[in-house]
Amino acid sequence: MTNDHQTILTAASAAAGPMLLLAFGALPAAWLNRHGWRAARTGSFIALASLAFTLLSVVSLVWLGKADFNWAVAGPLNLGVYFDNLSAIILTLVSFLLAVVARFSVNYLAGDPAQGRFTKWLCLTGGSVLTIVISGNLVQFALAWCATSLCLHQLLLFYPGRPGAVLAARKKFVISRLGDVCLLAVIILVHDTFHSWNFSTLFNAAKSLHETGPLANGVEINVICFLLVAGAMLKSAQFPFHSWLPDTMETPTPVSALMHAGIINAGGFLIIRLHPLVTLSPAAMSTLALFGAFTALFASVVMLTHASVKRALAFSTVAQMGFMMLECGLGAFGLAVLHLVAHSLYKAHAFLTSGSIVGLAKSAWTPTEKPNAHPLTIAAALALAIGLTLGGAAVFNVDYRHEPALLVLGCTFAMALALRFGIYGAKHSTSNAWRSGRFLAAPLGWFIFHCIKVSVPCSASTSGSMRNSTHGLEWPWLRCCSRSSCWCS
Amino acid sequence: MALVALLLALFLLVLVIQTELPEWTNRPFFRAVYVHARNGFYFNTLANRAAALWPVKTSEKEQLKS
């Protein structure tokens, strides 16, 4: 690993944003409170500056290529920046959301005596999340991961007199510490097995293990993968650990927006970042897929019954995270990134506008009734889904026995698509059907794209059914992100 | 393949529930299901009881009263 000038430029511009935010957050809360509104304006400006630095780093990445920068090496421990396509996507996403949320909270909390303290912890939380994204080694990753949850704890207890807030924050605190224990165990085991914490070294080691086939130290690697899966499930509010998320609604709405859009998906990011490692254990991947699928189904049923906008949105987040974990567990990491970005953007928007729904309802809004499907429509949708998926397999020459992810996700999307067309086609005009069907265009596009990719013989050399995800060609699909909404929302 | 079949069956089930639940509200069984779902199948209650094991400090109690 050489730290040449080009790498340093990319790494420095990527690290500048989080450093700025953390530096602002280090200012004393009492002093910031005295300058409340102006402190919030400054915080919002700093979030905007960090977004500018992020965009600079993305330009630098496109021009100069991936950055793997290491500084202050002391044994296996060092400070590093690992900046590739995945980091660039997530860094841009989170900086953008943070800039929007910081600007939103300037007016949202105007006049609050603790506005300065709020801005301080908002910037610290944002800075920690950005540090997770650009981390170059596992220890730095875990430290930033832990710092994020501790800073978020301060935001959740922004109104410490509210019993609901205290209860929810405690549940979150205990679950987060369990997640930290998982990561700590991973750090120790990874050092025992691979003798390094650097991501690039780990990925190379994992790649060679993929090629050699049956593993000599299989038990240790399985334990590492299961711990990573457990850490991701604890962070992303998966099934047995989900109950804190719908309860954290006592905090100011901008915090909910940032948490649901920028922080909760850190679990998914952990799995996607370390996917060369996690894919070494098929058992861990299957566990992740099963828990993710169950969470998605459980939460999307519970969501239907909630009348409170924010609680329903919280259960929707749980369901979406479950669906993302399912995609990760099936090895569809590209789709998981797409889902992460799309979900973050739409959920941040939904939370920030949730307050306006009341005003809208008071003025002119009449609730539109949800159309019910005739049982025959559902049967037809199922038949169409199976037909589309098998037909797709025939057209593109795909063998589903080697592509379980394509089969499940293809069938699921086709089913949702067919049902939406069925319902809207029967009860509404055709233009409505197109409008609702368009939302599924991006996942369906991904599906067709992967079918083509699989059917091209040269890609057959990639290891097993687990595909390398952050492929350059998948970037065009990210353009459809803001429009694609998943069917469990 | 068993995993794949299970996942597909589960997703079909939730799709049916999502689209049909409003029509089913007249039947007593589905009304009961609705109430259980509304309470999150009581997992939250269990978590809240577990969280109550953490003793509340006096200063926090005073804050809660205010």
Q: Look at B44 and A247 and tell me if their CB atoms are within 8 Å.
A: yes
Measured between beta carbons, the chain A residues lying within 8 angstroms of B43 are 240, 242-243
Please tell me which residue of chain A has the smallest CA distance to B19: A372
Average the pLDDT over A341-346 and give the result: 90
A300 interfacial to chain B (CB closer than 8 Å): yes
Identify the weakest region by mean pLDDT among A12-26, A138-152, A426-440: A426-440
How much is the pLDDT for B58? 46
Please tell me which residue of chain B has the smallest CA distance to A171: B51
How much is the pLDDT for A322? 92
Which DSSP symbol is given to B41?
A: G
Q: Which of A94, A112, A115 has the alpha carbon at shortest distance from A47?
A: A94
Are the beta carbons of A253 and A352 closer than 8 angstroms? yes
Measured between beta carbons, the chain A residues lying within 8 angstroms of B40 are 243, 246, 302
Are the beta carbons of A102 and A47 closer than 8 angstroms? yes
* pLDDT band, residue A475 (cuts 50/70/90): very low
Q: Look at B3 and A306 and tell me if their CB atoms are within 8 Å.
A: no
Q: How far is CA A46 from CA A95, A147, A332, A389, in A?
A: 11, 20, 36, 48
* Ranges A413-417, A453-457, B22-26, most confident: B22-26
* pLDDT band, residue A474 (cuts 50/70/90): very low
A419 interfacial to chain B (CB closer than 8 Å): yes
How much is the pLDDT for A384? 74
Interface size between A and B, measured as CB pairs under 8 A: 95
> Average pLDDT, whole number, for chain A?
80
Greater confidence (A410 vs B30) lies with B30
* Amino acid at residue number B29: F
Report the half-sphere exposure of A442 (CA within 13 A, side-chain side): 24
Greater confidence (A70 vs A438) lies with A70
pLDDT of A182 above 90: yes
How much is the pLDDT for B55? 65
Going from N- to C-terminal start, the domains of chain A cover 1-136, 138-356, 381-478
Percent of residues, chain A, with pLDDT higher than 70 = 76
Q: Chain B closest CA to A160's CA: distance in Å? A: 7
pLDDT of A465 above 70: no
A237 interfacial to chain B (CB closer than 8 Å): no
Q: Which of A132, A167, A130 has the alpha carbon at shortest distance from A49?
A: A130
Number of domains present in the structure of chain B: 1
How much is the pLDDT for A464? 34
Measured between beta carbons, the chain A residues lying within 8 angstroms of B51 are 167, 170-171, 174
Measured between beta carbons, the chain B residues lying within 8 angstroms of A300 are 14, 18
Average the pLDDT over A217-234 and give the result: 91
Are the beta carbons of A342 and A445 closer than 8 angstroms? no
Q: How many CB atoms lie within 10 A of CB A101?
A: 27
Percent of residues, chain A, with pLDDT higher than 90 = 36
- Find the CB nearest B63 among A160, A243, A401: A160
Identify the weakest region by mean pLDDT among A47-56, A159-168, A390-399, B47-56: A390-399
Tokens of A349: 């928007």
B14 interfacial to chain A (CB closer than 8 Å): yes
Q: Which of A63, A65, A26, A68 has the alpha carbon at shortest distance from A43?
A: A26
Q: Look at A488 and B22 and tell me if their CB atoms are within 8 Å.
A: no
Helix axes A138-156, A163-194, angle to 10 degrees: 180
A390 interfacial to chain B (CB closer than 8 Å): no
Measured between beta carbons, the chain A residues lying within 8 angstroms of B64 are 161, 163, 166
pLDDT of A432 above 50: no
Question: What is the model's pTM?
Answer: 0.83
Q: Look at B23 and A240 and tell me if their CB atoms are within 8 Å.
A: no
Q: Which residues of A452-461 are buried (b: 16+ CB within 10 A; e: fewer)?
A: ebbeeeeeee
Q: Chain A closest CA to B26's CA: distance in Å? A: 14
Residue B44 lies in domain: 2-65
Q: What are phi and psi of A77, to 5 degrees?
A: -100, 130
Q: Give Rg (Cα) of chain A.
A: 23
